[in-house]
């Protein structure tokens, strides 16, 4: 099977007509997307649309009912979370899920367990340089950090495995706008790393124009719109894609 090139190079991830669900319930249908190194593919959609279902299937936590999830040349659909992580895919889960009773240091070290231990001290140091707040809180219990600090820790922990693809599920969830700004500064920095592919999931389009290289709108289990390049920075195109109507019709949607 030959894969198409992404905007910035050969796609590392290809999700091809995937259908996913839970028992008899279908949560996502006919979902296709690609991610190339250096791309930041954003998935936006309302509550219950199937966004988390998509990234957790890519992360190997569930087995898609049909379709293919291919990382480089390997099929990873249903491979299991640990094997997929070892292949270089890291998920920052919705709600962060750091280990609250462990210290910042212990959380960071745990992030590196899926790869060989070489260079661990250097990687910890890099994480602390990238996230200075974590250096200040290095020996603190992670559960005592603020929401924003916990999100930084969750991202830093995911990077400890030196992923080729990082997926971040609702990074702005529950955070104050100023804190979201800080998180997005970090995401932008990651986006600018040419070797790294990214998937960022959000409920709203408010922040993603700053980082997205491509955007897919998901609604009730389907990708209903895809925006590329300049379309993403046009608020009219964004609204049209998200709401499915031109500006001025939003009031009809009860959104």
Ligand X SMILES: Nc1ncnc2c1ncn2[C@@H]1O[C@H](COP(=O)(O)OP(=O)(O)OP(=O)(O)O)[C@@H](O)[C@H]1O
Binding footprint of ligand X on the chain (CB under 6 A): 22, 25, 27, 45, 47-53, 94, 203
Distance, in Å, from the CA atom of 111 to the CA atom of 205, rounded to the nearest integer, reads 29
Q: What is the nearest approach in angstroms of ligand X to the Cβ of residue 78?
A: 15
Nearer to ligand X, 124 or 199 (CB): 199
The site string for Mg ion over 209-248 (x = CB under 5 A, - otherwise) reads ----------------------------------------
Distance, in Å, from the CA atom of 75 to the CA atom of 36, rounded to the nearest integer, reads 16
Q: What is the nearest approach in angstroms of Mg ion to the Cβ of residue 123?
A: 28
Query: By the 8 A CB rule, do 197 and 39 touch?
Result: yes
Distance, in Å, from the CA atom of 174 to the CA atom of 168, rounded to the nearest integer, reads 14
Q: What is the nearest approach in angstroms of Mg ion to the Cβ of residue 228?
A: 24
Nearer to ligand X, 4 or 22 (CB): 22
Tell the residue number behind the tokens 């219950």, with chain if given: 48
Nearer to ligand X, 25 or 255 (CB): 25
Which residues lie closer than 8 Å to 251 by C-beta, 6 or more apart? none
Nearer to Mg ion, 45 or 111 (CB): 45
Distance, in Å, from the CA atom of 71 to the CA atom of 113, rounded to the nearest integer, reads 21
Q: What is the nearest approach in angstroms of ligand X to the Cβ of residue 138?
A: 31
Q: What is the nearest approach in angstroms of ligand X to the Cβ of residue 218?
A: 7
CA-to-CA separations, 155 to 2, 39, 114, 122, in angstroms, rounded: 32, 17, 16, 17
> Does 52 interact with Mg ion (rule: CB under 5 A)?
yes
Nearer to Mg ion, 51 or 164 (CB): 51
CB-closest chain residue to Mg ion: 52
5: left (phi over 0), alpha (psi -120 to 50) or beta: beta
């Amino acid at each position: 099977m030959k894969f198409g090139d992404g905007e910035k190079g050969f796609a590392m991830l290809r999700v091809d007509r995937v259908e996913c669900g839970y028992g008899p319930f279908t949560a996502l249908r006919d979902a296709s997307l690609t991610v190339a190194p250096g791309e930041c593919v954003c998935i936006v959609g309302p509550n219950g649309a199937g966004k988390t279902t998509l990234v957790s299937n890519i992360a190997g936590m569930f087995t898609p009912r049909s379709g293919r999830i291919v990382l480089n040349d390997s099929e990873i659909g249903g491979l299991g979370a640990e094997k997929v992580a070892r292949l270089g895919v890291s998920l920052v889960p919705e709600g962060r899920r750091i280990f609250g009773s462990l210290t910042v240091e212990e959380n960071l070290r745990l992030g590196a367990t899926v790869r060989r231990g070489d260079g661990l001290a250097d990687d910890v140091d890099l994480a602390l340089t990238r996230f200075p707040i974590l250096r200040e809180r290095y020996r603190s219990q992670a559960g005592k950090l603020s929401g924003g600090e916990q999100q930084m820790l969750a991202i830093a922990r995911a990077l400890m495995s030196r992923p080729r693809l990082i997926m971040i599920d609702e990074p702005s969830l529950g955070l104050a706008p100023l804190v979201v700004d800080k998180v997005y500064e970090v995401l932008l920095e990651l986006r600018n790393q040419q070797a790294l592919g990214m998937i960022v999931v959000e409920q709203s389009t408010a922040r993603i124009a700053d980082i997205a290289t491509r955007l897919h709108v998901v609604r009730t289990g389907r990708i209903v719109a895809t925006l590329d390049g300049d379309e993403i920075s046009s608020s009219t195109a964004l609204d049209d894609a998200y709401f499915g109507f031109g500006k001025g019709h939003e009031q009809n949607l009860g959104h």
